[in-house]
Chains A and B, each alone.
Chain A
Amino acid sequence: MNPAWTLISAFAGALLVLLLPARMAVHSRVVALVAALIGMVTGAVDCLIRLRHPEHAVWSLDCEWIPSMGARFHLEADGLTLVLMLLTGVVAIAGVLFSWNVNQRQRAFFAWFLMIIGGVYGVFMSRDVFLMFVFYEMVILPKFMLISIWGSTNREYGAMKLTMYSIGASALILLGLAAAYAGAGGTSFDLMHLASAEYSTGLQAWAFPVLFLGFTILGGIWPFHTWAPTGHVAAPTAGSMLLAGVVMKLGAFGALMVAMPLFPEGFAMWKGMIAGLAIIGVMYGAFTALQQKDLKFVIGYSSVSHMGMVVLGLAAGTHWGLRGAALQMVSHGVIAGLLFGIAGRVVYARTHTRDLDELEGFDLWRTLPGAAIGFTLATAASMGLPGFSGFVAEISVAIGLWQSFPWLVPLLVLGIIVTGAFSLRALQKGFFAHRKVAKVDAPDLPPLTWPEITAISLLLLVSLSIGIYPKPWVTLIDETLRSPLFHSILSLP
């Protein structure tokens, strides 16, 4: 299947949803589901084809766009892109399913939703940095709308904070990209062209951190992570899922595919610093999550911690590190989607609280066993228990880190242990509370609906498939890491 179907289905879906007559507004979810399904099937089929026929040429589309600037409409679907496309498809489907009963302004909701999805596909496929940046920024306004209109706690504040952080980060990226473009002669935005250009050391020294930071702010790097928990909490469930599941990945993806290959010398200069920030992020996120009372905040901070591991893998700069970072991107995408889906949709919609102390009273294990089991498995995945995707990713990051910064490995291990602690705490308090505080009249909660069960199973399945048999995923990721783009990074001393 042509990978462009992902983009087309998302944007066409958004358009179609907007054009639906008002009386059919409720069917917008079906349109969205179909669009997401097309995206996911395309991603999955293309992944399989790529695995079976690695010798085939990578699909690409390269046509003229803005001749005066040298920007081209250049899409490509190599291994890592396909993996991330599949991730996006999965999260999109889960997001639609978890939003099955959005009841106000459905058309607008799913239109913005699909626009985000489309932008995300676009970023993952672009091999022209200008085009990539266009897609990258295209998700900012839809994010704002999604959160501020359909969000929950403190939604306008959370939306504004998220938007300002995103656009601020974009300003840095803009500066960095403009510098790279100008430094490479100002004739082309092609990623490969920019990556093979020679930049002066002085330029690399300032442009790399600007560009890298710009991207990783959206990836939730400490200390610029504060948008993440508030944004996640404020967002509607599908919004948090998208935000944590794929939008944060955009930042990490940009850092991996653009910032590092463009300025390898700059990366070599700054990598210690980045590793330091990342490890602080891992620990800070974990320790903060340990103290949260709101279930969504726990998950929000755990995202900070997990994304810290992505940056850590990037900072390691070795094959294992980058591979681990990419794996962790996928893994966290799925797991965060799962956690947010259960906490935000399944539980909150029924209990109307996310406060861990109050949830104790609902005795969720008895009243909502499906959610409890799902959350247990999600927690296990988030803790990096073997068999789930987190394990493979974390182990790869740890190996990469060992190769570059061996003395940080103990800190990483500590972070992982604290992750286990806060995950268990949330699980215990939220779902397996003691009977004694349980309300006598713990209300009868409606059981899980089919869309919810489907979404949970889908996400769990992906996490398990990575955890049990990561080879296909890693093969695809490696294909990208072996491309000439990464020669300069991987050959650093």
Chain B
Amino acid sequence: MNYSALFLQLLPETVLLLTALGLMGAAIASESRNGKALPNKVAMGVSALGILVAAVLQTRVPDALASTTPLLAADGVTMIFKWVILGLGLLAVLLPPAKREIPNPGEYYAMIQFSLIGLMLAVATNHLLMLFVALELASLTLYLLVGFPRTARTTEASLKYFLFGGVSAAFMLFGLSLIYGFCPSPYLPDVAAKLAESGLSPIGAAGIVMVLVGLGFKLAAAPFHFWAPDVYQGGPATSVGLVVAASKVAGMVVLVRFLVLGFGGTEGWTTGLSVVAAVSMVAGNLLALAQQSVRRLLAYSAVANTGYLLVGVCGNGALSSGTALFYVLVYGLGTFGAFAVTAGVERETGSDSVESFAGLVKRSPMLALALLVCLASLAGIPPLAGFAGKFAMFSAALKEGMSGGSMPLAWLVGLAAVMSAISLYYYISVLKQAFVREPVSGSGCKLPVAHVLTVVVPAVALVVLGLFPGLLMDPIADAVAGLLAMK
């Protein structure tokens, strides 16, 4: 084993780890020296700096570094999505929690670093065992992050998250062991080879189902989504920012690696997955219609978007999974931006209800404009990135699901298109408050610079990616094609 290469490859993660340790040390030092917790701003700054350094170092990782161990993949997908995770993580860190919500910021931000390490490892492996470990590292820290403020609401959210997550982990582990029974190698390309050789055995099929249930929990696919609204509503802004974007992206990468790379050789799972997709889209959108809290609304919209993403995966091909990964990134940006605006509104009015957005355009034109961009992108309205992503994903799914001249996925894509149209209704009812209604209170929103960044960056990114989706779509599609060429 070439340890220096391994070190080079894991340098960003190492930096994050060091940052985390440093933060914890500083927290203890600060508390023992003057009895006060490390100030939130300092912890946040250090944490953001660590992530920045990691991101810079990530550029130093040689492109074509041969993987030194089967546990870690060094393909294009890994490279791109590590950045994505770092970027979304940085945004989450910059999104400040409510005042005095976090009693001990040092530990809190250290925890975020750990969870980012987990997510980064999760997108960087084709090894089933590593995959499980990385996902659980991320999940466990996220449970804690959601429950950090120790109020009744966050505790409930955290507990729910933990219970559902724990069950899902059990499902996943069980499924992985079944798959190990099907193919005595936890390495996904080996699984694909075995599948091509002997076809899918019932044990393998059961394994797929179990793993899918587990991943379904992580991705908040209906009917495994019950934790999502409570977590979205209850958690501190920073933690939820991490949950809504980075963890979703990581989950999708894992799903694509597992299903399309490992089991792309069989069509057996597409029907089941398309049913889950359909249920997610319908349930997510319909439930979102009834929400008064924008945080919950975003949670249900997340369920619906998981449905769309699964449509892309159902295409079971390089382009459809590639575009699905592009879309999950775009979705992450959009929903994060919308969430950041919500957090800003909450900071001012103390409520995340739809009514608290009234007249936002007069109180803070920038927030309103960013909200418009993010929600319109989520609804799939051009020229924003959400539109390009959805369109590319759906048409790729149609094309790659095509057999002969007929399109078996047409119904699913049709449903997705219609559901996506319906989603505009609840997005626009928020926008209506922001743009049409008169403000209740006249005061303007004053947000910290970091918070402003978390609002503006996603919005700008969505516009740029909407006008030139090729900037990211092409590299991602190429990377996925390269990944799938492994099998």
Task: Verify if A167 is at the interface (C-beta below 8 Å from B).
Answer: yes
Which of the 9-residue segments A178-186, A357-365, A374-382 touches chain B? A178-186
CB within 8 Å of A: which B318-374 residues: 319, 372
Are A138 and B381 touching (Cβ within 8 A)? Answer: yes
Are A149 and B436 touching (Cβ within 8 A)? Answer: yes
Q: Which residues of A contact B372 (CB under 8 A)?
A: 141
From A141, A144, A160, A175, give the contact of B417 (CB < 8 A): A175
From B396, B429, B432, give the contact of A186 (CB < 8 A): B396
CB distance from B466 to the nearest CB of A (A): 9
Name the residue of chain B whose CB is nearest to the CB of A172: B417
Interface string of A347-368 (1 = CB under 8 A from B): 0000000000000000000000
CB within 8 Å of A: which B368-399 residues: 372, 376, 379, 381-383, 387-388, 390-392, 394-396, 398-399
CA distance in complex: A183, B409 (Å): 13
CB within 8 Å of B: which A153-194 residues: 156, 160, 163-164, 167-168, 170-172, 174-175, 177-179, 181-183, 185-186
CB distance from A173 to the nearest CB of B (A): 9
Q: Which residues of B contact A172 (CB under 8 A)?
A: 417-418
Are B421 and A170 touching (Cβ within 8 A)? Answer: yes
CA distance in complex: A164, B425 (Å): 7
CB within 8 Å of B: which A230-249 residues: none
Q: A66-B470, A141-B381, A163-B424 are known contacts. Are A178 and B398 too (CB-CB below 8 A)?
A: yes
Name the residue of chain B whose CB is nearest to the CB of A140: B381
CB distance from A403 to the nearest CB of B (A): 32
Name the residue of chain B whose CB is nearest to the CB of A184: B399
Interface string of A63-106 (1 = CB under 8 A from B): 00111110000000000000000000000000000000000000
Q: A138-B383, A178-B398 are known contacts. Are A164 and B424 too (CB-CB below 8 A)?
A: yes
Which of the 9-residue segments B20-28, B134-142, B201-209, B400-408 touches chain A? B400-408
Q: Which residues of B contact A437 (CB under 8 A)?
A: none
Are A68 and B477 touching (Cβ within 8 A)? Answer: yes
CA distance in complex: A210, B424 (Å): 20
Q: Which residues of A contact B425 (CB under 8 A)?
A: 160, 164
Q: Which residues of A contact B238 (CB under 8 A)?
A: none
Q: Which residues of A contact B387 (CB under 8 A)?
A: 134, 137
Q: Which residues of A contact B428 (CB under 8 A)?
A: 144, 160, 163
Which of the 9-residue segments A196-204, A282-290, A445-453 touches chain B? A196-204
CA distance in complex: A207, B376 (Å): 27
Q: A145-B435, A164-B424 are known contacts. Are A178 and B394 too (CB-CB below 8 A)?
A: yes
Are A203 and B398 touching (Cβ within 8 A)? Answer: no
Are A138 and B398 touching (Cβ within 8 A)? Answer: no
Interface string of A112-125 (1 = CB under 8 A from B): 00000000000000
Task: Verify if A340 is at the interface (C-beta below 8 Å from B).
Answer: no
Task: Verify if A432 is at the interface (C-beta below 8 Å from B).
Answer: no
CA distance in complex: A488, B341 (Å): 51
> What would 14 more interface pairs be, CB under 8 Å, given A134-B383, A145-B436, A183-B405?
A66-B470, A135-B382, A137-B387, A144-B428, A145-B435, A149-B435, A156-B432, A160-B429, A175-B410, A175-B417, A178-B395, A182-B398, A202-B405, A203-B406
A-B contact pairs, 27 of them (CB 8 A): A65-B468, A66-B468, A69-B473, A134-B383, A135-B382, A137-B382, A138-B382, A138-B383, A140-B424, A141-B431, A144-B431, A145-B436, A156-B432, A160-B432, A164-B421, A164-B422, A167-B379, A167-B421, A167-B424, A168-B422, A174-B394, A175-B394, A175-B410, A175-B413, A177-B395, A178-B394, A179-B398
- Chain A interface (Cβ < 8 Å from any Cβ of B): 65-69, 130, 133-135, 137-138, 140-141, 144-145, 148-149, 156, 160, 163-164, 167-168, 170-172, 174-175, 177-179, 181-183, 185-186, 199-200, 202-203, 206, 210
- Chain B interface (Cβ < 8 Å from any Cβ of A): 319, 372, 376, 379, 381-383, 387-388, 390-392, 394-396, 398-399, 402, 404-407, 410, 413-414, 417-418, 420-422, 424-425, 428-429, 431-432, 435-436, 468-470, 473-474, 477-478
The 6 lowest CB-CB distance pairs between A and B, nearest first, are: A200-B405, A182-B399, A178-B395, A171-B417, A134-B382, A171-B421
